[in-house]
Amino acid sequence: MNHLLSIADLSREEVLRLFRLTAALKARQKAGDRGAPLAGRSLALIFEKPSLRTRVTFEVGMVQLGGAAVYLSAQEIGLGVRESIPDVARNLGRWVDIVAARTFRHATVETLAAHAAIPVINGLSDVEHPCQALADFFTLWERGMDPGRIRLAWIGDGNNVCHSLLLLAALLGTPLAVATPPGYAPDPGIQARARALGGRVMLTTDPREAAEGADVLYTDVWISVGQEGEREQRLEAFQRYQLNDRLLGFARPGALVMHCLPAHRGEEVTDSVLDGPQSVVLDQSENRLHAQKAVLLHLLGGGDV
């Protein structure tokens, strides 16, 4: 594992090792341990899209590990416009130890990784969101849930988060039911890759069919950054896919509710579900910090703690 561009860059053993490292780092942070395994190391954050969770968790995580982070907005470096992506990568490789990039095109993070002599982390692209998926499955794992014995249902758009969850569910042996409107299913190539990894994937256009008997219901926004021009079309297509109390009622009693945030309340999810007792969205959000610290430490050779 030299970069983390896709969940497919990981093996099952590496995922479980990252979970154990995440748990150790979280416990140390809660105990007030201020160890600095990455003292003197630096992280560059390249962001073409706005962010709350990804920026804060990477910056704070690097600081908690004893290192430093520098934020670079799209306006500051103009990837591919002011300067070519390979040139940006080569220069950063001379100054910093690792890069996390939040981009529109997945090809951008791939190009950065191809030309940087340092590790590159996909902080989100149009194809995948691997750090989110790691934090999500860690959230279930730390609750003692065996990934091979639970059933996960995705309700909504077959987007980048769904793609990473499909691949990670396949690695961990978790059956995943995906309910999307016609035309919004996950990328066929990602589906094929998940099945090649042993994934048990069920696709449907019926949200009730996906939700029935599920241990976890997961949703995300219907309109992501860059899709604003499709708003009315998407609102009409997804109106049956809202995660509300009625849909939650088809899942197993006590089923957990997940959302990667930010949420468009009243669209893909209702307040009563998002803020209800079965919601673990804030645990997911917190665990982004600890999971990404584990990834940083692993890629920079910090070893186990």
Active site annotation includes 260: yes
Q: Which residues does residue 218 pair with via DSSP β-bridges, in sequence order?
A: 154, 258
Active site annotation includes 129: yes
Catalytic residue among 288, 290, 292, 298: 288
> What are the b/e assignments for 145-166, b being 16+ CB within 10 Å?
bebeebbbbbbbbbbbbbbbbb
Q: Is the dihedral of CA 116, 119, 123, 125 positive or negative?
A: positive
Tokens of 195: 């099945």
> Cα dist. 104→32, 49, 108, 227, 237 in Å?
37, 7, 8, 11, 23
Catalytic residue among 64, 131, 132, 242: 132
Active site annotation includes 284: no
Catalytic residue among 41, 215, 242, 260: 260
Would you list the DSSP string of 179-202? E--TT-PPPHHHHHHHHHTT--EE
Catalytic residue among 157, 220, 234, 284: 220
**CA dihedral of 92, 94, 96, 97, whole degrees rounded to 10:** 110
Length of the chain: 305
Active site annotation includes 34: no
Active site annotation includes 288: yes
Q: How many CA atoms lie within 13 A of 86 on its CB side?
A: 2
**Where are the alpha helices (H) located in 31-66, listed in sequence order?**
53-64
Catalytic residue among 41, 53, 115, 129: 129
Residues recognised as catalytic: 102, 129, 132, 220, 260, 288
